[in-house]
Amino acid sequence: MNIRNLVAVMVCGLTMGIVSSCGGNDKLLDTVPADASGVVTINTRELMKSLNGLGYGGRLTADETLDMFLSHASETTKVQLKTLVTSDAVDRGFIAGYAVGVSGTSVVDMMKRGNYVYTFTIADEKKLLEQLGCSSADAVKGYDAYALDGATLFIRNRQGWIMAGNPQDNAGLLDEQLQRAANTSVLSLKGVGRYLDENDDIIRVAVATDLAGDKGWTCASVEVDDNGRALDIEGKYIDINGKEPAMDKYLEPVDLDLMDYTMPSDVFVMAVGLRPDTDWDGLMQYVQAVQPLDYRQRAMIGMVVPYLKRIDGTLMIAAGPTLDQRLTKADFSNDINFIVAVQMKKSEVAKTMRDFGDMLSMLGAPMVKRGEEYVIQVPGMAPVILKTVDGNCIVLTNRPLQQLGNDAARKAMKGNGFALWANIPDSLGEAVYGGYGFNLTAELNKDFEAKFMFNGQAAPIMEQLALIMSPDNSTDPSSVSDDMGFTPVDTIR
């Protein structure tokens, strides 16, 4: 079994499976060490239920949907993976996976090069081995070891583990992990242990934040909503003491007055309310821990951070197609109008305007002063205006400030320290990046919540995702979804 394909299935579960509470969860979690870099739990019974498009008015069975997700896997790998997630020879109520803890690297490096362990309870060992096509076992350090396609299945006392690589090395690593878990397991940790054990969502995942200089866990759960057409994602932070501090520690509610500068035809609006005591250096350390930056990226951040430290209020970005009318594939224009508005300390506004001018001149886009505003004219682009409004807000835009506002975006921003509203019609998605139109909302008010769905389609989201991930010639799109028409932007609410 190709371990990368197994990782792909688990990631699939991260965005698609439904995990529900089940007795015996604690037995598996008690074999996961507390120093794991990340832990994920999946209920494969509910995963298959969520893949069943027929249950949501779709056209694909769970088996057909899973086949499409695994369409790039080898036949051997496909059989073995489907056995794990569909066979009653495995306790389908609960499967746990974790990344072996590492030090001195980034989260991205850990995901790319880390060792992964997947563990489950075996209900019928003989049946499982037959379905996996396993032959006789090799006795390795007290385990029965069976060769899979690119991986090894270890079995002991009706518990199974799957790992990639050499069985001898893996058995030693597995022994070490079990000894660590016997000392301190993830289940014994305050807060996060209970969070993973009480898995009544689509899936639950917890990633350690040690690399960012913090001993807590960033957690997320996913579920299918809106009669199978949407994915709901919820995130939270759990600290070393099991507490759940607010994730908007350095944020303040978005200033809704800036929503007056948005347009009904905007397809993207994002806003964040930033306090002047925001720990930008700490945030950059967190970014570096997730993904190390090269010297050019560090240089760019070094230029940007001093400006970020001047922000005192809301940063808002909005954009939409230039044509403020119903979009069609025939007349859609790629031209985008936009606005960037940022509230700053009044004492910093004049200096920031001068700094912007100097920076743009160095980039070959000099500003021309026109009354109380500056005009930036780049060949081939509409004029961009830089000006100050209300004495403390700098605006960069290529459209007039007097707008009708976007009520849907305003509703998404209300009461949040961070919010994002995106509603991309199919015609715009096809014209700009050749993909589906989609709807995405996200908000941060103590905890993080997001909802994602595709626009203009009635098929369940699992069928749509399976279609996107499958080869172009594997399935006729018309057989699994309705007409891929577009949703006119002025009809979206």
Cα dihedral value 346, 352, 354, 359, nearest 10: -170
Q: How far is CA 33 from CA 24, 96, 135, in A?
A: 17, 12, 31
Q: Which two tokens stand for residue 238?
A: 């759990």
Residues 201 and 278 in one domain: no
Residue after which a domain boundary falls, among 238, 268, 289: 238
* Positive or negative: CA dihedral 323, 327, 332, 336: positive
| 83 within a domain of the structure (yes/no) | yes
Residue 372 resides in a domain? yes
Give a yes or no: residue 395 inside a domain. Answer: yes
Residues 6+ apart with CB under 8 A from 366: 357, 360, 376
Residues 6 or more apart in contact with residue 106 via CB below 8 angstroms: 211, 288, 289, 290, 291, 292
Residue 458 domain-assigned? no
Q: Quick one: CA torsion of 53, 58, 59, 64, rounded to 10 degrees? A: -20
For residues 428 and 417, give the distance between their C-alpha atoms in angstroms, rounded to a whole number.
29
Structure-token match 């303040």, residue found? 252
- Assess whether 187 and 119 both reside in one domain: yes
Q: How many CB atoms lie within 10 A of CB 35?
A: 18
Examine the domain organization and report whether 212 and 113 are in the same domain: yes
In 95-166, which residue ranges form alpha helices assigned H by DSSP?
A: 107-113, 125-132
Instruction: For residue 452, list its beta bridge partners.
Output: 231, 440
Q: Is residue 492 part of a domain?
A: no
- Tokens 């009669």 map to which residue? 227
Q: Are 264 and 320 members of one domain?
A: yes
Q: Is the model's pTM score more than 0.75?
A: yes
Q: How far apart are CA 183 and CA 190, in angstroms?
A: 15
Residue 306 lies in a domain: yes
Written as six digits, the tokens of 186 are 């993830």
The answer to whether residue 490 sits within a structural domain is no
Domain boundary among 195, 210, 238: 238
Q: Are 266 and 233 part of one and the same domain?
A: no
Show which of 206, 238, 270 is a domain's final residue.
Answer: 238
Q: Are residues 58 and 16 in the same domain?
A: yes
State how far the alpha carbon of 167 is from the alpha carbons of 84, 161, 264, in Å. Answer: 20, 11, 60
Based on the domain organization, do 225 and 310 belong to the same domain? no
For residue 244, being part of any structural domain is answered with no
Neighbouring CB atoms inside 10 A of 230's CB total 18
204 membership: H or E segment, kind and range: strand 203-208
Return d(Cα 287, Cα 305) in angstroms, integer: 13
Query: Would you write out the chain's pLDDT as a tens digit for each of its 493 residues?
Result: 443 333 333 333 333 332 333 334 568 999 999 999 899 998 777 788 888 999 998 999 999 998 898 888 888 888 888 888 888 898 877 889 999 877 666 777 776 777 899 999 999 999 999 998 888 889 999 999 998 887 899 999 999 999 988 888 899 999 999 999 999 999 999 999 999 988 777 788 999 887 666 788 999 998 888 888 999 999 999 999 999 998 888 899 999 999 999 999 899 999 999 998 888 887 887 777 777 777 788 888 888 888 888 999 999 999 988 754 444 444 444 468 899 999 998 888 988 888 887 777 777 777 788 877 888 877 767 788 999 998 899 999 988 887 789 999 999 999 999 999 999 887 665 555 556 788 999 999 989 999 999 987 778 998 988 888 776 534 443 344 333 333 333 333 3
> Based on the domain organization, do 221 and 264 belong to the same domain?
no
Domain match, 230 and 323 both: no
Q: Residue 13 has what pLDDT?
A: 39
Question: What residues make up the domain containing 232?
Answer: 3-238
b/e sequence 74-112, b meaning 16+ C-beta within 10 Å: eeebbbbbbbbbbbebbbbbbbbbbbbbbeebbbeebbe
Q: Looking at residue 441, what is its pLDDT?
A: 96
Q: Are residues 234 and 264 in the same domain?
A: no
Greatest alpha-carbon pair distance for the chain in Å reads 84
Do 271 and 180 lie in one domain? The reply is: no
Instruction: Specify the number of domains making up the chain.
Output: 2
Domain shared by 267 and 352, yes or no: yes
Token pair belonging to 384: 């961009």
